[in-house]
Structure 1
Amino acid sequence: MTNLTTDLLSALLIGLIGSSHCLVMCGGIASALQLTMPPASAKRKFSLQLLLSLGRLTTYSLFGALVGYFGASAMQVAGASLLWLRLLAGLLLLMMALYISRIWFGLLQLERLGQTVWRRVQPIAKQLLPLNSAAKAYAYGICWGALPCGLVYSTLGWSLASGSSLHGGLLMLAFGLGTLPAILLTGSAANALVKLKNALWFRYIAALLLGGYACYTIWLAIRRLVF
């Protein structure tokens, strides 16, 4: 399995497990936005919710591609090996594994960094309400992608260390796809998913898999840099 495939599966898993935090931050927003939608069938409302999430994933992917390009370009200008970025990616992945296992919550401190950006985006988002069209729903989702979130920012840091704009964009897309079930599911299905993700054995297994891949990534980078 290539590094890219493993990275994407890891990003998908991080989004799925970390979406418990999304339910606290974004789930409330999704529910509130549901109330701003005009009277319509359940199918119509679900399609608007899906467009909201597609807009959010668009922002994630664009940010990932931009920071991935910036990281690779910066290393080329500095004349440094991309293996240093791979080492950084492994360290960030290890921190995310610690967060998912609920051993360390330092990633939440990153949310403060995005408050300035969100204060500028929020007024634009408010002008799109009520969400009475597909275009408004998608545009609001694009704004929603800028909502401060420590897990999003740490995954963006991983995209920065990905070595290319394509890799960075795909990482953020995979992460965003992992968060979709928590946002879109309702009722008993959502409750079952929450219970599964909150089960300690499930979180520990996921963190162990991510931590193992993180250590492998770090070891490969150090081995190639040193030897």
Structure 2
Amino acid sequence: MTEFALQLLSLFSIGFLGSGHCLVMCGGMASALQLSMTGSSATRRTELQLLLSLGRLTTYSLLGALVAGFGALLLASLGLALFWLKLLSGLLLLAMALYLARLWFGLNQLERAGALLWRHIQPVAKRLMPLNSRRKALAYGLCWGFLPCGLVYSALGWALASGELLSGACLMLAFGAGTLPSILLSGGAATLLSRFKNHTQVRACAALLLGIYAIYLIWLALAPRFF
């Protein structure tokens, strides 16, 4: 498996295992959206939910491409070495591993910065309610992608470290895809999935694997300069 494929798998895993945090942030919103679909058929509600997720993942991918392009521009304009972006990638992965292990929650602090942007987007999202059309569902999903979330911002930092538009978009798409099961499932299936993800051994194993890969990335960044 190539290094980039491992990065995609890592971000998918982070999205999947960290989506308990997403439910805390998005659970109330998801419930409100469900209520706004009251009266629609089951097929119609499923269609609208899929469009919501398509919008959210589209925003994630566009933001990933944007910050990756910014990273490439930063390298070119300031003459920075790719070493710094690779090191940032490894450090962010290590931070996410610590979060999944519930040893350090510093990522939550990133949400404060994102809240400033969300204040401007939230009124736009509210005007789209109720979600009674495909256009509204997709547009609301695009807004939803800007909801403040420390895990999202950390994943964006990893996209920044990729230094390539397409790579950044793919990394954020993988992260978003990992969050889909928790957001789309409901009832008993969601409860079982939540229990599995929150099992101590599952989280510990995932955090350990991510931590090992983070140290590996940091080593790849540092080795050429110091060894």
TM-score range (shorter-chain normalised) is over 0.9
**In the alignment, structure 1 residue 213 sits paired with structure 2 residue 213:** yes
Give the secondary-structure state (helix, strand or coil) at the position aligned to 1:161. Answer: helix
Supply the RMSD in Å over aligned alpha carbons: 0.9
> Residue 8 of structure 1 corresponds to which residue in structure 2?
8
Shift of 1:38: 4.7
Q: Which residue of 1 aligns with 2:17?
A: 17
> Could you tell me how far apart the structure 1 residues matched to 2:43 and 2:206 are?
33
Superimposed CA distance per residue, residues 50-102 of structure 1 (whole angstroms, 9 cap, x where no aligned partner): 11111000110000100001011101222222122111100000000000100
TM-score (norm 2): 0.98
Q: Which runs of 5+ in 2 are unaligned?
A: none
Q: How many Å separate the matches in 1 of 2:211 and 2:68?
A: 22
Contact 1:67 1:160 in 2 (8 A): yes
Q: In the aligned structure 2, how far is the partner of 1:69 from the partner of 1:80?
A: 14
SS at match of 1:104: coil
Percent of residue pairs bearing the same amino acid type: 63
**Residue ranges of structure 1 left out of the alignment (5+ in a row):** none
Aligned-partner SS, 2:146: coil
Q: Is the 8 A contact 1:55 1:145 kept in 2?
A: yes
Structure 2 counterparts to residues 117-196 of structure 1, below 5 A: 117-196=117-196
Between the aligned partners of 2:148 and 2:18, the Cα distance in structure 1 is 14
1:87-106 alignment to 2 at 5 Å?
87-106=87-106
- Output the TM-score relative to the length of structure 1: 0.98
Distance 2:76 2:207 in 1: 33
CA distance in 2, matches of 1:148, 1:123: 15
Q: CA deviation at 1:9?
A: 0.2
> Which residue of structure 1 aligns with residue 81 of structure 2?
81
- Structure 1 runs (4+) deviating above 4 angstroms are none
Specify the code of the residue in structure 2 equivalent to 1:199: H
Which residue of 1 is the match for residue 39 of structure 2? 39
CA distance, structure 2, for counterparts of residue 177 and residue 93 of structure 1:
18
Distance 2:80 2:20 in 1: 38
Q: Distance in 2 between matches of 1:116 and 1:86?
A: 28
What is the distance in 1 between the residues matched to 2:155 and 2:16? 13
Question: Matched residues in 2 for 1:3 and 1:82: separation?
Answer: 16
Distance 1:128 1:71 in 2: 33
User: In the aligned structure 2, how far is the partner of 1:80 from the partner of 1:20?
Assistant: 37
1:143-196 residue CA offsets vs partner (Å, 9 max, x unmatched): 011100011111111111112111111111000000000000011111110001
Does the Cα contact within 8 Å between 1:38 and 1:132 map onto a contact in 2? no
Question: How far apart in 2 are the matches of 1:2 and 1:225?
Answer: 23
In 2, are the aligned partners of 1:38 and 1:131 still within 8 Å (CA)? no
Corresponding residue for residue 65 of structure 1: 65
Task: Find the aligned partners of 1:225 and 1:96 in 2 and give their Cα distance.
Answer: 25
